[in-house]
A and B are shown apart, each in its own frame.
Chain A
Amino acid sequence: EVQLVESGGGLVQPGGSLRLSCAASGFTFSSYWMSWVRQAPGKGLEWVANIKQDGSEKYYVDSVKGRFTISRDNAKNSLYLQMNSLRAEDTAVYYCARLSAGYMDVWGKGTTVTVSS
């Protein structure tokens, strides 16, 4: 079964850091671009970042550039999102998604990040 499972969410103070993980199974992880997408409480979906199969290309939404870093470990079938200098507006459910030619065909169930003092 093709599956993505996120972990690492939690409560963090403003200015703090958090690292999200996404474990992939059921498909050849190293063959796909991967994405992070977030959804603030009661709001819509927002693309956060993409990473190429070999990690050589990474793209970010403007609001997280310089603060978030997407990475992957193909040997571990894992995707990561290192989040630094967190702000209240980063509070959201973070989804990991498989990217296939511009569309996200497999999604995880999400992990919740709350930034609050």
Chain B
Amino acid sequence: QSALTQPASVSGSPGQSITISCTGTSSDVGSYNLVSWYQQHPGKAPKLMIYEGSKRPSGVSNRFSGSKSGNTASLTISGLQAEDEADYYCCSYAGSSILFGGGTKLTVL
């Protein structure tokens, strides 16, 4: 039950695009199309942003997109806005357990 691997931090300027990677193994990310991504602002509960690798829940901006290749999933945020500054966590179903990444702090410069 090892955590998924994410970069600790990423940054970008308003209007730019950034990508956050999430690396797992063939037992979790690579085995299931069940990667999800969560946004968390300080002191708040996490919010679902992407599910099943690339699907957006109703109400989530289309600036957020997800993809997967092999054991690595990615979250891309285009047209960065100040309100996107937050922590982002990837998550994968892994059979009888669920794994989260360590989290990535996004700074909008």
Contacts and interface: CB of A to CB of B under 8 A. Distances in A.
Interface string B19-51: 000000000000010101010100011111001
Contact of A45 (B32, B51, B100): B100
Contact of B96 (A46, A59, A103, A108): A59
A66 interface: no
Contacts of B48: 103-105, 107
B85 interface: no
A107 B48 CA distance: 9
A47 B100 CA distance: 7
B98 interface: yes
Interface string B77-109: 000000000010101010011111111000000
Contacts of B101: 44
A91 B38 CA distance: 22
B100 A62 contact: no
B18 to A, nearest CB: 19
B1 A103 contact: no
Nearest to B44: A109
A47 B99 CA distance: 7
For the complex of A and B, list the 7 residue pairs with the smallest distance between their C-beta atoms, beginning with the closest. A102-B34, A102-B93, A103-B36, A44-B103, A47-B98, A103-B51, A107-B45
Interface of A: 35, 37, 44-47, 50, 59, 61-62, 95, 100-105, 107-110
Given A102-B52, A103-B36, 10 more contacts: A45-B100, A47-B98, A62-B1, A95-B45, A101-B34, A102-B36, A102-B51, A102-B98, A103-B51, A107-B47
16 contacts: A44-B3, A44-B87, A44-B89, A45-B38, A45-B46, A45-B89, A45-B100, A50-B98, A61-B1, A95-B46, A101-B52, A103-B34, A103-B36, A104-B46, A105-B57, A109-B45
